[in-house]
Structures are given as C-alpha cells and as structure tokens.
Structure 1
C-alpha cells in the first residue's frame, strides 16, 4: 500500500504550500465576465452590486480572522522563545564565565574611537596615549556594561556582582545635564567593591574654554567632586578636562592625607587658567603616582613643589617657560617621557641640567627655546614650532652635547629653513622613524624631499629611515620630487645590485587634492613592497588647480584604492543606570 504523500502542492496564487482553500460561492454572473458583455437591465446591475457587497463583507470578516491569527501567532512565538530560552546553552554557562564575557565585551566597548587628526609627536607610551586609551567606560544605555542588566534577572545579578565592570567611569557632560550625573556616579562607584577606581570627568561645551563659566556650573562640579571624595583611598586614575578651575577648591579642603593607589593625574582646567597646585598639596603621600598632566605655571612659586617629582616617570605640562622645563627636569631623576608646552618667557636662565634616563622629549614652543640640557639616553624627540616668529636655538649643539641615538624625530613647523632642517637631520643620522607636519606655504617641502633622496655621490641623510609620516603640501607642492625620493629608497628593477632598502612604511596626508596621475604614481610603489598610505584633501577644501604631472614608466600604475577615514561623533552619556 502506497502511503499518502504529506507534501502539499504550492498555491497557484501565492506560491506557498498551505491547506486547501475554502470553497467560494460561484458568481452568478460568470458568463457576463467571460463574454465581456454589458448589462442593460437595471435589476441585473442591482444584483451585481448586492453580490459585490457580499464579497466585501466576506473580505472584512476574513481580514479580522487574519488579524486574530496574527495575534495568536505572536503569542505562540513568544511562548516558544520563552521555552527555548529555558534550555538555551547560554543558561548553562557558569556565572564566573559569564562575568569574564561581560568584562571582555566592556573592554571592547571602552576602546576609544578617536577621530582623524594631525600627526602628534607621541610614540604611544606618553601621558597623552595613556589617558586616551585607558579606562574609557561610558555610562551609555544599550552599551556595556549597562546592557547586561537589560537581558534577564540572572545577567543583571551577575553584572552587579562583578565589581570590575564598575571600577571605571568616563562622563562627558553638558552643563545642563550635570546634576543628573551626581547620583549616577555615586551608584556606579558603589558597585565597584574595593577595587582601584579610574574616574574621568570631561566637560562638554561649545567653546572649549570660555572666559568665565557660570556659577551654577562651578557649583555642579563641586558637588560632583564631593561625590567621589569618599572613594579617594581607591583612586587609581583621575582625568579632569575643561572643568572650571575654582571647582578644584573642594579638594584643597577635603583631600585625605594619603592617596595610596593613585597612579595617574590629568588636570586640564578651563579658563581662566590658574596655575595653583594647592588642591593637590597632599600628593606627596601618593607613592604610586607616575603619570602627571597639568598646567604647572611658574616654578619659582612654592605651589609646584607639592607634586612628588622625584617619583614621576611621565610628565605632560602646559604654561611653562624654558626655565620651568629645566628646573622640573632637574627635580625628576626618574622621568623617561616629558612633554612641555612652552608659553611663557623665561624670567631667568637656569643652570645646565644633565638627565641620565630621559628617553622621550617633546616640546611645543610659543616662545624662543634655548636648551641647556644633556640627555644621553634620548631616543625620541618631538618639536612643534607653530609661530613663525619663534626659533629653536642650539638644537644641533644639544644633540652633539647629548650624544644620544635619536631613533624617532617628529617636527611640526611653520618657518624652518631647509639648511636648518638638514643640519638637524645630519646630527640625527640614526633616525628610523620620521614625522613631518608642514603648516607653511610649502617652501620646505620639495627641498626636503631632495635632501632625503639617495644619490651615489652624496652622503645620504638618515640612512636608517624605516618609516615616514608626512602631513602638509598646502601649496607649491609637486609630487615628482617625493616620487624620486621614494624611488631612491625602495628596491626597484633599476636599483643597484648591492642596494639594501630600509624604508618600508610611508603615510602621506596632503592638504590639497592630488591629480589622478600623481595619486597613482605614489601608490604604485606598493608593487615594490613599500607599505604606502596616501590620504588627500584632509582639510576638506576643494582644490581646483590639480596638478598635471609627467608619467614615469618605472612608477606608473593604473590601480587605485579608496582610502577610508573613520570618524564618529562623541555620544552623549546617559543619566540612566
């Protein structure tokens, strides 16, 4: 006996397999429809109208049935999902494993999404990098760790019993929402158990530093500081940005005698900048403090001595003079990474300073610089000279006196002459990583590429160069000299047999838009093994005068590649837990 097939034929109208349709009442006017005849009788037309009303009534009844069935299907699906969740494999994962999963997801969410910016003279180990990438946990709904409490009671219980999810908080607040964060911050930190705390408060406002913040804003931040003061014994990282200076007076009166766990402190005050260190007078009892970013002011005043300079390893200071730089370096024998923003003239000249362990020195100058410094272990040097009236004196003598092996050199400049630039490079022959940001009209650029080009009858500058970063080329820039320089430093079919290429990575970012031929010529070096990244029109301005460049048979290539730039607006923090 052949079993009856359980498969159903597909419906002619919808193409789906479903139970047989209900029988419909046949139309008494079928012949008129087939023959396309016109009804002349009024009674026949009235009968058709009555039949149409009956059909419409049946359609409405079936629509109601469909709505009811859809509701029943939704209920059944919900019941099905509820019962599936009971036997889901995730239910059998031990709570301690779920806690580790939560921690990893929170770490992923905490990764900063920093928008593209100009080259910064930082090798990745300084204060800027430490504070940008450390503990970026924001209280945002539907993001870790808050999202774990939205799934189930079990997940919420696991999240609340895992203190490592709550021992870091990063709040970016507008003035009008500041009050909402006071209770949020307290509740958040109460969940952290007894773990060390990382606390970051950044004030968001239209103007980065307004002349005089309103009093209610000052009061709000004072209350926010009072909220975290009971947890001072567990502070590990403090990062405050753009907060009114007067709000820090809360610490002066209430800071405890000991901050045993504090490792990093960053204070970027709002205007007016008051370089008083009195709120941190008790930091001498912070034995683990290593990272300091602050506006220090005149070191001839007594307040600067409140910091435990002898134990600091990473220093980032604003509003300094050259005298302050020398004095601070003379008081920090363990410092390995220092950045100074020199904004004030030196009142007097400091005696020469010998620093035996300093490895990274970065200086941003708004006044002339005269270094009386010797750093034999210096390996990274960053210089920013953005004012055309500012000069960096005696850099060559500083390098000769130090005898250091500079492996990374970054320069942001607006008025450096090519002779001065080549003299600096000649004094740093062991450079492996070179970063240049050009803000001027391009007078240096072509000559710079020429000076870096390898020639058989000339001594090559920076022969150990492995990577190059460049941002600039605003005007009067031709890519031909750059292409010649790259061609001379990579292995091509025309390179000498004994040529050993060192350059392996190049990142180029141009203010202007290159012609298609120039772009293709530069990225063609990829076929010779050079990792080259070319970004153009980075300032968003449309340059109408594109270059007309001659093609080069060795470098030509018809390929092109789109370059992507990640950008993301900062999200507003939530006031919900």
Structure 2
C-alpha cells in the first residue's frame, strides 16, 4: 500500500494545512494498560474530560463560523463571476429568442386538450394547422414565469417580449378558478397587440357537476377574456361549465383574427344567436368545433361554413351533415356526431375537397351514404350501432382511394366486411373495434389478408392494423397472415409494420407466445389479452393441431 501524501489528513483523507499539535493526555497509561484509577485519579480524569468537552464545543463554534464565512465567500465569488459571465454579453433580442424556444419546448410536453385527443391521424391538430404551439401553462418554476426568478435583467427581457404571453393554457379545478382570474388578465395584458391563443380546461369531475360558486367563477373567468376578443386567434373551452353560450353576448367587437374555435362543454350548451352573430364577423375562421349545434336551424345555418376547412360538430342529424357539406365547399376534414333522426331528405351532395370524414352516431345513416360523393376522400372513420352495407357503393360512386379506415361498433358480418375492404385496395391503416354482437375479423378475413403466391391478398399496402375485440378467429389464422406479410421474399417487400391486438377473450399461453414471436421479423406487436398459463388450455386449445 502506498504511503499517504504528507499533507493528507488520516481522518478526512483531504489535503489541508497541518493540524495544531494537541497536548498529550496525562492519563494515556490508563488506556493502554487498562489500569484502574484511584479515587483521586478519577477526579482528575473527570476534570480533564470536562476541559476536553469545552475545547470541543469551542472548536465546533469555530467550525460553524468558518462555514458561514465560506458560504459568504462563495456567494461573493458567484456574484462576481456573473458580472463577467458570457451570457451577460448576449443581446436582449437573442435572450428573448432563447426564452421563446425554451417556452415552446415545455409547451410541447403539455397534455393536449379534448379537441385533439380523439383524432388518430392528426387531421385536427391545431398546432400544425396554425403553425405554432399554443399550450403554454402559467406554472411557477417553468417557462416563461421562471425567467423572472433569475434576475431583474431577465425579468425585464421576459416582460418586454409579448410573444411569451400571447398563449395561455389553464388546466384548473373548480376550487382554483378564482385564483386564475387575475393571473389570466395580467398574462394577456403582457401580450401587447399580438393574436391570442386561449385554452381553458376543466379536469375530470364528478357526475354531479360543479358547485354553484364554482359555476359563477368559471363564468367570471370567461368574462375576463371577452375584452381581448378582437385578438383571439384560438379559443378552446374544454368541459368548462357554461349555462349557455350566451355568455358570448358580452362581445362588443368582431373577431377579425379568429382562426380556430372549440367549445366542448356538454350537450346542454347550444349555439346561441349572439355567438353565431360574432362568428359571422370572423373572416379567418378555419376550424370550428362545437358540442351540439342544436335544432335552431336559423342560427347555425348562418355560420360561415364556406370558409371552414376543419369542421367538428355534434347534436346533428344526417340531413344536417349533408347540408353542412353542401355549403362547406372548402372543408378538408369533417367530423359529425349524428344524434338526431332526419325529418326530410337532402339532395345528393358532391364534395370535391373533403379528405377526412368521421361519422359517429347510432342513428340510421343511409341518407349520408346514398347521397354523398367524395372523390378525394382518404380517411374514413365510422362509429355506429347500425349496419352500413351502403359503404361499398358509396366508395365505388366516389372513386376515392381510402388510406385510413376506422370502424367501431358495427353489426356487419365478416362477408360484408370483406366486401367492404375490397373497395379499399390502397388502404394503409386499419382500425377495427368489435362490439361483441358481431365479429368482423374471423378466420375468413385473416385468410383473405394472407399473402400467397397464387393470388393477391386484400389490402396489399397495409402498414398498420389495430383490432379491439377478436371474438371470432383462431390465433393460427392470424399468425399465418402476419408471417406472410412480414417475411421478405422474391418480388415482395414487406409493408406491414405495426400490429395492435386487444383480444377480449382467453387465449392459451402458447398462442400468445406465437403471436409475440413475430417480432423477430421486425414487426412492432402490442398484444393485450387474457391468457391461460397452461399451454393447451383456454379457448385456443382446440386450434392447437388444426
């Protein structure tokens, strides 16, 4: 073992000046020889211990004083280092840009609002549509509020940069609304004259709804932003309790820069005359989302549908859907929640611009499929409790190349489902949710999708498959299809990349292992199912030797 440096302390192993020599103990012999002291020697030892403890206390106070002096010296050093730090030479405009980039980075990590989370293909992504990120939250110790905590210089730069403050995303519970009213007003006042993006979100709450006090406080928060209406670029109210959208009757100005409006506050909130009147004075409005347009036809039919590119409305009928499509000639993405029966027929509608159509509803939808033509449609999403055997004729009539198809809750059998898929040879993403009453995916469908050398399969361009349900097929049919799509061979380049299976029945452990083993071919497989530990048990046991 190498010897320690001369200045290295044997106790702390650190280099420091030599310690002061301590006077030797006059009682060392009692320690080494273990000799018992006499009564007079005991008294002397007690006096020695008392003096030693006093010395310890004095030295501890000395250590505390030195530590305080050390802390003061460190502060002094840091303050003087800051004077000559390179960052102090960065021009204010560069610092402002750094602040903006940091704020945008934190905003991208913020949870989305309800306007976007139900769209798997990002057709309604406002951040992409408007070309910026608008989810900046006023949370302490995060951007942009943290910049004011560093120094007076940084705070001055932050307060003189309106782009840090022209977006606000409040995600607050009922008991915190009052605290955010003044904050919201101060925040928006710092935004100068820039267009504003305002998002209010109320987290999940009990079915009883908000207390009366909280209800009025939410109304007061809405009233706080009304004076800034001329600068609204995006307004998104998600689950905010409103008695009526008549709260917008307090608007005294037009909406010259409004591009996106989303109000998702329950079916009790209807389109009001006041809101419709203001939207008619919004020449830049492109995205419109409302929970329920209601039955006041004279109101919602006067909305500026012709200028909208993204439409998402609920509480309508199939007739309303066709009417909106007939007047919204520039729309490229539409989502309709069909909640009322149609009372009359609508003339056929041909929409040459529509690329995304999403229909949710448990009403009879034949009026839509029999009277609509969309030649540029590429994304079709349907959630319904009724059959829709008119879809093949709708697609044949349209001549559209469907790339994304989602189906949920349909009672179509596998034969009709296969016929439906045959009208989508260009399909790339398929999303199926079975409701249990009728299975779309059976062995017949898996075999139709299997790639063989004898005949071309259904959906040759399929890249992604998601299935929820899986009541009516054996795992062997699924394995054969996936293997045929994943392995490279002469003249064939695999395109299938992602498989998500949520099987709502028991499968044997061996079946699950055979499916997950397909990852060796480069497939990304997400399997969620109930399974039996015993290899030959479960509902798949009967398929083991088939």
TM-score under structure 1 length normalisation = 0.84
Within 5 Å, give how 1:265-344 maps onto structure 2.
265-270=261-266, 272-276=268-272, 278-298=274-294, 301-344=297-340
1:480, 1:77 → 2: CA distance? 70
Deviation at 1:151, TM superposition (A): 0.4
Which residue number corresponds to residue 141 of structure 2?
142
Which is further off, 332-341 or 245-254? 245-254
Deviation at 1:225, TM superposition (A): 2.4
Assess if the C-alpha contact under 8 Å between 1:234 and 1:259 holds in 2: yes
Which residue number corresponds to residue 564 of structure 1?
none
Give the 3-state SS of the residue equivalent to 2:108 in structure 1: coil
Which residue number corresponds to residue 237 of structure 1?
234
Give the 3-state SS of the residue equivalent to 1:226 in structure 2: helix
Change beyond 3 A, Cα 1:16–1:410: same
Which residue number corresponds to residue 357 of structure 1?
353
Which is further off, 500-509 or 176-185? 500-509
Instruction: Please report the RMSD computed on the Cα atoms of aligned residues, expressed in angstroms.
Output: 3.0
Which residue number corresponds to residue 263 of structure 1?
259
Deviation at 1:26, TM superposition (A): 1.0
Instruction: Answer yes or no: is 1:498 the counterpart of 2:491.
Output: yes
Which residue number corresponds to residue 110 of structure 1?
107
2:505, 2:8 → 1: CA distance? 62
Deviation at 1:239, TM superposition (A): 0.5
1:397, 1:80 → 2: CA distance? 79
Deviation at 1:276, TM superposition (A): 3.7
Assess if the C-alpha contact under 8 Å between 1:119 and 1:435 holds in 2: no
2:427, 2:484 → 1: CA distance? 17
Change beyond 3 A, Cα 1:474–1:35: farther
2:383, 2:451 → 1: CA distance? 27
Deviations 1:153-205 (A, max 9, x none): 11000001111000011112222221222211111111111111111112235
Aligned length: 527
Instruction: Answer yes or no: is 1:434 the counterpart of 2:430.
Output: yes
Within 5 Å, give how 1:403-418 maps onto structure 2.
403-413=399-409, 415-418=411-414
Assess if the C-alpha contact under 8 Å between 2:381 and 2:405 holds in 1: yes
Deviation at 1:106, TM superposition (A): 0.5
Assess if the C-alpha contact under 8 Å between 1:277 and 1:306 holds in 2: no
Deviations 1:89-144 (A, max 9, x none): 111111111000000000011114449x9995532122677699940011000010
Change beyond 3 A, Cα 1:285–1:274: closer
Give the 3-state SS of the residue equivalent to 1:102 in structure 2: helix
Assess if the C-alpha contact under 8 Å between 1:127 and 1:315 holds in 2: no
Assess if the C-alpha contact under 8 Å between 2:244 and 2:270 holds in 1: no
Deviation at 1:398, TM superposition (A): 0.8
Deviation at 1:8, TM superposition (A): 4.8
Change beyond 3 A, Cα 1:268–1:244: same
Change beyond 3 A, Cα 1:49–1:477: farther
1:444, 1:545 → 2: CA distance? 24
Which residue number corresponds to residue 452 of structure 1?
449
Which residue number corresponds to residue 535 of structure 2?
548
1:75, 1:442 → 2: CA distance? 76
Give the 3-state SS of the residue equivalent to 2:280 in structure 1: helix
Assess if the C-alpha contact under 8 Å between 1:166 and 1:191 holds in 2: yes
Assess if the C-alpha contact under 8 Å between 1:221 and 1:247 holds in 2: no
Which residue number corresponds to residue 228 of structure 1?
225
Deviations 1:38-76 (A, max 9, x none): 33x222222222222222221111111111111111111
Deviation at 1:491, TM superposition (A): 2.5
Deviations 1:260-294 (A, max 9, x none): 10100001124534344542322112110000001
1:91, 1:533 → 2: CA distance? 52
Give the 3-state SS of the residue equivalent to 1:110 in structure 2: helix
Deviations 1:304-355 (A, max 9, x none): 1231001101001111211111111111111110011112222222222111
Which residue number corresponds to residue 182 of structure 1?
181
Assess if the C-alpha contact under 8 Å between 1:121 and 1:411 holds in 2: no
Assess if the C-alpha contact under 8 Å between 2:439 and 2:470 holds in 1: no
Deviation at 1:413, TM superposition (A): 2.9
Change beyond 3 A, Cα 1:270–1:434: closer
Within 5 Å, give how 1:356-435 maps onto structure 2.
356-370=352-366, 371=369, 372-385=371-384, 387=385, 390-413=386-409, 415-435=411-431
Which residue number corresponds to residue 160 of structure 1?
159
Give the 3-state SS of the residue equivalent to 2:256 in structure 1: coil
Instruction: Answer yes or no: is 1:17 the counterpart of 2:4.
Output: no
Change beyond 3 A, Cα 1:509–1:38: farther
TM-score under structure 2 length normalisation = 0.88
1:409, 1:338 → 2: CA distance? 14
User: What 5-or-longer segments of structure 1 have no aligned partner?
Assistant: 1-6, 538-542, 551-577
Give the 3-state SS of the residue equivalent to 2:289 in structure 1: strand
Which residue number corresponds to residue 247 of structure 2?
250
Assess if the C-alpha contact under 8 Å between 1:235 and 1:262 holds in 2: yes
